[in-house]
Amino acid sequence: MTIAVFPGSFDPLTNGHLDLIQRASRMFDHLIVAVGQNTSKRGVFTASERVAFIEAGTQALANVSVQVEAGLTVDFMRSVNATVLVRGLRNSTDFEFEQGIAGMNRSLDDQIDTVCLMAAPKYQFVSSSLLKEVAQFGGDLTQLVPPAVAQGLRDRLERDK
């Protein structure tokens, strides 16, 4: 059985993330979406809120589970017996960034392979910082994030004003 891990902060969860999760779930026996904290950014949602959004968006995918991770992804992968790391690529900048991370992960554990999936063209421009800015100014996010996430972003940003 091949267990794969798709790690990220998912702050916020986007339809692009969900597309990658759905596609990866068809490739592996089990996919664990690992919710981590990006230490270089201030988060909008708590880890438990992000887990709830992902669980709601993946409830029809029987081979997908969601867990919170802290620390090194390779350590998390060892703890769940995963051998494949799934990453999404939007552009060449993402590729260069992910190439370095894949190399580091491979040096930490040579049993881990990284599989990169290209983002669907309709989501290649989506980033968390752009979404937060659009939400802050009342823009329509309905094509880019699940409805609950769009509402959560509006509520959170309104509360934090």
pLDDT for the residue 42: 74
Predicted TM-score (pTM) of the model is 0.93
Statement: residue 40 has pLDDT above 80: no
Mean pLDDT of the chain: 93
> Which residues are known to be catalytic?
17, 41, 90, 128
Residue ranges at the known binding site for substrate = 9, 41, 73, 87
Residue ranges at the known binding site for ATP = 9-10, 17, 88-90, 98, 123-129
Q: pLDDT for 103-139, tens place per residue?
A: 999 999 999 999 999 999 999 999 988 998 898 888 9
- Residue 16's closest CA among 105, 156, 149, 154? 149
Question: Whole-angstrom Cα distance, residue 29 to residue 43?
Answer: 31
Are the C-beta atoms of 131 and 2 separated by less than 8 Å? no
Q: Does domain 3-160 have CATH number 3.30.70.141?
A: no
Q: pLDDT for 50-61, tens place per residue?
A: 999 999 999 999
Length of the chain, in residues: 161
